[in-house]
Amino acid sequence: MADTTDDLVIGLRAGNRAALARAITLVENNGKGTGDLLQKLAPSLGHSMVVGFTGAPGAGKSTLVGAYVRELRSRGKSVGVIAVDPSSPLSGGAVLGDRIRMSEHATDPDVFVRSLASRGHLGGLSRSASHVIDIMDSFGKDVIVLETVGAGQSEVEVADIADVKVVVCAPGLGDDVQAIKAGILEIADILVVNKADNPLAERTARQLEARTTGALSRKIPVLKTIAVENQGLDLLSEAIETQHHLRDHAQKEKDRPRKLLKTTTLEFLSSKLDEDNQALDLISEKLVRGEISFEEAARQCLEIASKQV
């Protein structure tokens, strides 16, 4: 017999890990009762600190996340981990590589790791991840770690729903440091050069400091870590706490819902446009012929979508 939303709420508040797993599956799949469950949990949210880790593959991001979790546990913090995995090309499910790398925490009752599959499409993943964050928050996790698969725009959008954003960089960027997307710099609260035993790490850290100082009006901490040896994790943990305390917590409660509302609205409009391909083709043809501007084309698209509501 399936759980009712009341059963799940009771289980979550009682610290039942099975209820946590079932609730996450429900909201990840947007199953029947998702809205009701989230509404019932809303008054009790806001306990957890949410830390997002993003960055290009090869920077040792997953190893760093595992070391950060280890550091948090040494401080007595309970932890939830949401690992956004690339989808399996066969099943569409998460590859679960991050859970394999997090296996050292598998027997720890105060660590709960969940992988979310991108299924080759990250459009609605920020909403799905946000719902899972709410479930873990209601369960009572002190810290929720969100790790994304890469550093593209979609991953940046996912990471941006976190309270504190950590961008992980590999040493030896050289002149390629200029290629770091402005979007990543804009969301970063902390930059980490992992594998700091590499001779090029110091130079990379200096380049990042120069890049952020010139590009942004605020100073972003640049730290160095060696995740496999647990070096620098104490300073990273303290920097994350500092950044979290600097946040305007009243504004923080509004930020994630506002960002998700914008994302959901765009997805909704896109789905409505897809329902009228003929009209969309006609507008596109006018655009190609130079009969209308992009702004006018966008306005006409909005009119089409509004009629579908």
Residues 26 and 108 in one domain: no
Residue 180, pLDDT score? 59
Q: Which structural domain range is residue 152 located in?
A: 45-247
Residues 85 and 170 in one domain: yes
Residue 302 lies in a domain: yes
Question: For residues 159 and 165, is the Cβ–Cβ distance under 8 A?
Answer: yes
Question: Domain tally for the chain?
Answer: 3
pLDDT band, residue 279 (cuts 50/70/90):
confident
Region 96-117: mean pLDDT is 75
Region 35-43: mean pLDDT is 91
d(CA 240, CA 165): 9
pTM, two decimals, is 0.81
Strand 79-85, strand 190-193: pairing: unpaired
Chain segment 144-177, per-residue pLDDT in tens: 999 987 656 666 777 778 899 999 988 986 545 5
Residue 78 lies in a domain: yes
Residues 3 and 37 in one domain: yes
**CB count in 10 Å sphere of residue 110:** 14
Region 245-263: mean pLDDT is 69
Residue 95, pLDDT score? 43
Region 10-37: mean pLDDT is 93
Q: Tell me the CATH number at 100.
A: 3.40.50.300
Q: Is the pLDDT of residue 115 over 70?
A: yes
Residue 255 lies in a domain: no
Residues 231 and 113 in one domain: yes
Residues 303 and 181 in one domain: no
